[in-house]
Amino acid sequence: MKITEGFNEIGWKLDNSYARLPEKFFSHIEPEPVRSPNLVVFNTSLATNLGLNKKELESVSGVATFAGNEIPQESAPLAQAYAGHQFGHFTMLGDGRAVLLGEHISPSGDRFDIQLKGSGRTPYSRGGDGRATLGPMLREYIISEAMHGLGIPTTRSLAVVKTGETVMREKPLPGAILTRVATSHIRVGTFQYAANWGTVDELRALADYTINRHYPEVAEDENTYKSFLEKVIERQANLIAKWQLVGFIHGVMNTDNMTISGESIDYGPCAFMDEYSPSTVFSSIDRQGRYAYGNQPGIGVWNLARFAEALLPLLHENQEQAVDIAESTLSSYEVLYQDNWITGMRAKLGIFNSVEDDKPLMDILLKLMEQYHADYTNTFRALSTNKLEESGLMDKEEFKMWYEQWKARLERQQENEEESLQLMRKSNPAIIPRNHQVEEALEAALEKDDYKVMERLLQVLSNPYAYTPEQEEYAKPPQPSNRPYQTFCGT
């Protein structure tokens, strides 16, 4: 492993605060070098925001860093330990194919984890090879950038390199490494790990570190850890409401895939819903529909309950009182989620003020969309552009009745019709990363080494609320031959 002085040339300003936690929470491990790294996707705008030198990152030395063949001098590479409930079953986990190079300090003073995903075996690989394949890494790049464009808190992707090596899955596949950027990789599962295998002092050290990093405003509160729990609940209620509002289905909402920061993470078998149905599942491994679209809000509070359980020793020294504090705090989730969702849905319908019967108006529309298999995104798009013929519902008598009720509702506010339409266009994406279009981009890259399809898709997804002519082609729903769609974990 070559250590390079990349500080001045590339612009890395790395700290390693996580490495100052008790060693129980990580293992020092260096990435495994690869044969012949080749940069295939690079996020120029993200690099600029991070204060990094684009030219140097695209150089031989920069690509070698993305591949794990070279590491910056300031880096202290490590793999994080964590646990998690996977489809409801608790197990010990950890970074089985990822290495955290360190925490980059941006020009604005913000701290970002720089992680290599697919960088080789670690002490937590559990028999795996520690590698990743090109298709899933490109998919994570596309979806994470799409989520960023939609204004949803998310980890992001800085680069994808091909390794020049073959990875064996069901068949030989090209290897790849993704550079992931996150405000941190601390998960609900990290706290579960601390609560199950650490001491109370180690759990407190993790909690204090996380509070200092993400929620310093609660550090002086009377019950700091209760306030900490409240903040995480607020972030997750907001995040999952945003998922629901755009029809995003994570696919694998295990507790190890729920961040304490409130960012979306781990884009494995995720996808966006076409036809509206709460029972929509894309993941090949979710055979019981545990993580179906309509179940995501409930899974959110289930995961938060596991987080609260892990915090019990810190909430109060008396177990019974600690449970009472946890339960009362968790009870706020449903109200917070509903408030976030209804506020977002009002905006999607051009509603500025609040009246009691708004929720039934929303529910009726969703029921009609489900009944007539209407496209979720395009229904709201049609309402936002006054092109109701594109909704697929215009010829339905029930929809005509709903439409009149909606128009009457808009008259119960000061704002005029044009102002409502402007609000709707800001709140309803004209496009989403359609599953069949993502697959077309991946197929071109994998089969033809052609990244132009992916580049064009990323360009239109960077501003999904633009409503430009260039987006028209990307608004088309899939043909029947592209359904049903299924996603795979990619590990």
List the catalytic residues. 256
The CA–CA distances, whole Å, from 135 to 161, 177, 399 equal 11, 11, 41
- The first and second tokens of residue 179, run together, are 């550079």
As a 3-state breakdown, the chain gives helix, strand, coil percent values, each rounded to 5, of 50, 15, 35
Q: Which helix (H) or strand (E) holds 103?
A: strand 98-105
CB 132 within 8 A of CB 178: yes
The CA–CA distances, whole Å, from 410 to 25, 361, 398 equal 53, 12, 19
Residue 207's nearest CA partner among 126, 216, 90 is 216
Written as one letter, the residue type at 490 is G
- The first and second tokens of residue 186, run together, are 């601390």
| Strand, helix or coil for residue 14 | strand
**Cα dihedral across residues 213, 64, 173, 29: positive or negative:** negative
- The first and second tokens of residue 440, run together, are 């077309």
CB 54 within 8 A of CB 48: yes
CB 91 within 8 A of CB 113: no
- Residue-by-residue DSSP string for 399-454: HHHHHHHHHHHHTTSSS-HHHHHHHHHHHS-S----HHHHHHHHHHHHHH---HHH
CB 63 within 8 A of CB 160: no
d(CA 317, CA 437): 54
List helix spans (H) across 318-375: 319-330, 332-348, 358-371
Residues 6 or more apart in contact with residue 171 via CB below 8 angstroms: none
How many residues can be counted in the chain?
Answer: 491
State the DSSP code for 219.
T
CB 223 within 8 A of CB 315: yes
Interhelix angle 332-348/358-371, rounded to 10 degrees, is: 70
State the DSSP code for 164.
E
